């Protein structure tokens, strides 16, 4: 089976005034191992990769591979300049990454030819599989279905990470089927955007690239396994139980919610996001706090 299948969990990289909290990061990774996730994906958007420098990213990659205990580790190698991406790619492979994840990060909005050139240049240098990461909210670049097909034919590409599916299974199924027809068979399709992940998996996505899975791996795995078993009712009910979290993510961005959730559970310190990012505001935090207690996640 393709490495890029099932539940990929994205841990935060807790960062305070003194730099990365390595002990907390290793704790998060071990929690994912204990939670039996299928992939551990450090230095994704949730892991704040673009806010860290090269040395910090190499260090985080090494810590993750050491703590992963054999679970496949997919490392984010995105950066603005192609030459930086190539350096980060070499570092991730040297650290023992099973695979890498690359979004077309932009400052000047990129053309399709520029994005294709980026993936072409990077995939030519890779020895491990690549997941193509489509995140229009952070990169300002939107993949067309045809462009997914073109990029996914490059060497080493093993998966595409799509930003979501239309709401409701009836609309999601033809969406995933259309993509499936454009993308080679050996390339998996993974959904991100946690609120619609159950729908995406039920509609035929092979993987869930999950933010919440980085903090609540058991809950995310239960949704994933129910969907993989075709148990639509159970998958949707388990997802519905997290609606408070989804709603906060829609409003405040999933990274800030994952940060607050991890703090509620005592996994990271109070200040843990790279400035200028700020932790969730008090009102949102109170709502989350109440949910965490009601869900029995803390005593």
Give residues in contact with its own copies (CB under 8 A): 45, 50-53, 80-84, 104-111, 113-115, 117-118, 121, 137-138, 140, 253, 255-256, 274-278, 281
Q: Give the nearest distance from C-beta 109 to its own copies in angstroms.
A: 7
Report the C-alpha gap between 128 and 148 in whole angstroms. 20
CB nearer its own copies, residue 112 or residue 231: 112
Report the C-alpha gap between 226 and 265 in whole angstroms. 25
Q: Give the nearest distance from C-beta 111 to its own copies in angstroms.
A: 7
Q: State the sign of the Cα–Cα–Cα–Cα dihedral 290, 296, 297, 299.
A: positive
Here the tokens at position 12 are 């935060």
Here the tokens at position 230 are 């075709």
Here the tokens at position 143 are 């993949």
CB nearer its own copies, residue 38 or residue 91: 91
Secondary structure of 216-232 in the HEC alphabet? CHHHHHHHHHHHHCCCH
Here the tokens at position 16 are 């305070």
Here the tokens at position 131 are 């997941």
CB nearer its own copies, residue 240 or residue 281: 281
Q: 153: how many CB neighbours lie within 10 A of its CB? A: 12
CB nearer its own copies, residue 53 or residue 296: 53
CB nearer its own copies, residue 265 or residue 284: 284
Q: Give the nearest distance from C-beta 144 to its own copies in angstroms.
A: 18
Q: Give the nearest distance from C-beta 11 to its own copies in angstroms.
A: 16
Q: Give the nearest distance from C-beta 206 to its own copies in angstroms.
A: 27
């Amino acid at each position: 089976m393709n490495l890029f299948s099932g539940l990929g969990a994205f841990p935060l990289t807790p960062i305070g005034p003194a730099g990365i909290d390595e002990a907390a990061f290793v704790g998060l990774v071990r929690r994912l191992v204990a939670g039996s996730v299928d992939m551990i994906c450090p230095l994704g958007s949730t892991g704040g990769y673009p806010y860290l420098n090269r040395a910090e990213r190499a260090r985080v990659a090494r810590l993750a591979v050491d703590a992963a205990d054999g679970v496949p580790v997919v490392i984010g190698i995105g950066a603005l300049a192609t030459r930086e991406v190539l350096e980060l790619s070499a570092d991730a492979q040297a650290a023992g990454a099973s695979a890498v994840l690359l979004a077309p990060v932009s400052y000047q909005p990129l053309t399709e030819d520029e994005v294709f050139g980026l993936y072409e240049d990077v995939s030519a240098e890779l020895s491990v599989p690549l997941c193509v990461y489509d995140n229009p909210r952070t990169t300002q670049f939107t993949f067309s279905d045809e462009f997914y097909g073109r990029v996914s034919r490059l060497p080493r590409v093993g998966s595409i990470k799509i930003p979501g599916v239309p709401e409701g299974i009836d609309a999601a199924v033809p969406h995933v089927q259309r993509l499936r027809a454009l993308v080679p068979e050996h390339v998996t399709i993974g959904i991100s955007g946690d609120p619609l992940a159950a729908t995406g998996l039920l509609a035929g996505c092979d993987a869930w690239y999950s933010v919440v899975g980085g903090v609540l791996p058991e809950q995310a795995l239960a949704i994933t396994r129910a969907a993989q078993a075709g148990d639509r009712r159970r998958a949707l009910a388990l997802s519905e139980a997290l609606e408070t979290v989804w709603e906060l993510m829609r409003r405040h961005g999933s990274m800030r919610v994952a940060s607050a959730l991890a703090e509620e559970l005592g996994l990271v310190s109070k200040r843990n996001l790279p400035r200028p990012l700020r932790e969730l505001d008090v009102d949102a935090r109170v709502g989350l706090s109440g949910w965490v207690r009601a869900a029995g996640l803390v005593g």
